[in-house]
Amino acid sequence: MEAVILVGIQASGKSTFYQQRFFDTHVRISRDLLRTRNRERLLLQACLESKQPFVVDNTSVTAEERARYVEPARAAGFRVVCYFFRTETRAAIARNRLRQGKAVVPIPGILGTYKKLEEPRREEGFNEIYAVTLTPSNEFVVELFSAADPAAE
């Protein structure tokens, strides 16, 4: 049983990554789709109770936000994996410009989310943390994540 938490600012590639890597095996939990915290909570609970692998496809940029998924998943016996999308704001804004309709995020929203971004840490309850970067040719590069400051680990 696996719980995957995607962490990153808007337009960093999280949803595309989900589609490429987890669509066939994991339920997608996304506030963009579910619209309310209550619906999100109900779907999360259903996944936990049925032992269904799932991916949380939200920005989840703070440890506090991630805890609402990590703690219940750990308590239910899930292995919890984090994919941290390392994205420059310029690149995210450029990708955001390619979106249409309601998918377009106002630039101040992207910048505001970036300011709140906290790097994920093993101490939050993750079994593994991976860093994900998106190349200019739109290929995902996934590597084991280590904090920039070794003293912070």
User: For each of the chain's 153 residues, which pLDDT tens digit applies?
Assistant: 999 999 999 999 999 999 999 999 999 999 988 989 999 999 999 999 999 999 999 999 999 999 999 999 999 999 999 999 999 999 999 999 989 888 899 999 999 999 999 999 999 999 999 999 998 888 999 999 976 544 444
Domain extent, residue 104, equals 2-152
Residue with tokens 């084991």: 144
> Which residue type occupies 114?
Y
Q: Which tokens belong to 77?
A: 């016996």
Secondary structure of residue 56 in the 3-state scheme: strand
Number of separate domains in the chain:
1
The CATH number given to whatever domain includes residue 145 is 3.40.50.300
